[in-house]
Amino acid sequence: MLATLHKLGIVPSFSRPSVSDDNPYSESLFRTLKYCPAYPDKPFEGIEQARRWVHRFVHWYNLEHRHSAIGYVTPSQRHTGQDTTALLGGKAQTLRGCKGKQSSTLVRQNQKLETGR
């Protein structure tokens, strides 16, 4: 059996049942899939319904869901290079938000640091 797997180019997995460290990438995707807000609460009625759901999930995952591992941008933004613009735009918006009543707090904290030298 092992020789047949190697002949076919398949790497056998010898992980223990219910252990998620065999392939962390697929395990991470499965967790995201299961915790997706649109995850079905009952089994699919057929293969076509399952395919439609997976198609919608992949669209959401790539174009709408912001991934923490890549700086809270979508994979599509990262792939097309828009992640830099999105991140810079987010920082600019955050800084604009800080220029209100919080800016005086930030200035005071900086002054305390400067006078402590």
pLDDT for position 26: 81
Per-residue pLDDT tens listing for the chain (117 residues): 788 888 888 887 776 666 666 677 888 888 888 998 899 999 999 999 999 999 999 999 999 998 888 888 899 999 998 888 766 666 555 555 555 544 444 444 444 444 443
Would 6 be classed as within a structural domain?
no
Q: What are the Cα distances from residue 37, in Å, to 34, 40, 56, 61, 91?
A: 8, 9, 12, 11, 28
The reply to whether 20 falls in a domain is: no
Phi then psi for 73, rounded to 5 degrees? -120, 170
Within 10 angstroms of residue 110's Cβ, the number of other Cβ atoms is 10
* 71 part of a folded domain: yes
Place of tokens 């919608």: 56
Which residues make Cβ contacts (< 8 Å) with residue 13, sequence separation at least 6? 22, 23
Structurally, the chain folds into a number of domains equal to 1
Please check whether residue 30 lies inside any domain of the structure. Answer: yes
Q: Is residue 104 part of a domain?
A: no
- Residue 62 domain-assigned? yes
The parent domain of residue 30 ranges over 25-34+43-83
Residue 17 lies in a domain: no
Q: Is 12 part of a structural domain of the chain? A: no
